[in-house]
Amino acid sequence: MTADTIVHLDPPYPVRLRSTFPEVWDALREDHPDRRLFVVADRKVLHHQPQALVGLTVAERKAVVEIDGGERIKNLRHLDALVGRALQARVDRRSLVVALGGGTVGDLVGYFAASYMRGVDWCPVATTVISLADSAVGGKTGVNGHGLKNLIGAFHQPVGVYGALEALDTLGRRHRSGGLAEVVKCAVIADAELFEMLEERAELLLPGAGELWGEVLMRAVKVKRDVVQEDPLEQGRREILNFGHTLGHALEATVRPRLHHGEAVALGMIGALRISQQRGLAPAGTTTRVVDLLGRLGLPRAIPSLDPETALVTVGYDKKVWDRKVRMVLTEGIGSATVGHTIEWSELSQALQSLRS
């Protein structure tokens, strides 16, 4: 499969989906010839996909830096370790930093690229649903700090985004489902036709239908592309991409056993949908329709272990809280989202309580 689009920022950059890793490296080489690569790879990707480095030179393969994926790597200690490895490899401002892995690897490596020598070029080679559908596009990079998600970070647009669909073959069902939460988010906020496609073909996605995955992911990418082009630094419309994330981040930080990011976002969307309906913004039945789809995609629709009070306290530290006023993205129905809504703490508490059953 070959699918491409362009993110029209200054400068513009391509998003290219390919079937295999060798095709990805060929596309990257065509876009960036004669660049010295500094590849930072999730070692699980290399273990499960030994062909992931096919297309690199022997010298480049030997120089690949392997790291673990997951939220635990997103901290200043791992950032400093990466700086040390870059110095050993003599990475300079003409180098191209490549993040091979999922969203957490992209967040860390992207922030490294944003800060190393005050900024070097970088691009993700995304290997998960969630990174292909969401985090790889748009230039948000960062690490966690003091128990808060993405507290430290920067906007640093990549010079390209690349994805190998074959990487999805080795993902577990839970990871596929979690990534689809971000696809559903894109559909809810801006693409009613994508939502209908997901409703019609939900059961085909989890087993892994390659062409369908490519079609669905590119639709999600184009939603994010359009929003990022309009608002690259999240000063207005880009906030719609946070639909489900205000409550989702709090759930991700507090629920034990831990939720995957996509699972937390799915639950956060349900909470936001219920507030939207209670306020009379979204038509009756909107929440039920989304909840049904999330369930068919293998995502949680409730979390009995949730401690609403603890989660509510965590919401207070969200970046979108100003002067103790919580601002949330709400929806007026499938295919739309609006920003700037001030939510009462009682509404948030009620929404969190509703997620327990």
In order of their start, the domains of the chain are: 2-170 (3.40.50.1970), 179-354 (1.20.1090.10)
Q: Residue 1's pLDDT is what? A: 82
Instruction: Name every residue whose Cβ is closer than 8 Å to that of residue 59 and which is 6 or more positions away in sequence.
Output: none
Phi, psi for 319 (deg, rounded to 5): -65, -20
pTM equals 0.93
CA dist 332 and 163 (Å) reads: 32
Instruction: Name every residue whose Cβ is closer than 8 Å to that of residue 262 and which is 6 or more positions away in sequence.
Output: 129, 130, 177, 178, 179, 180, 181, 182, 299
Q: Which element (helix H / strand E) includes 312?
A: helix 308-315
The residue type of 248 is G
Q: Which residues of the chain have pLDDT under 50?
A: none
Q: Residue 357's pLDDT is what? A: 85
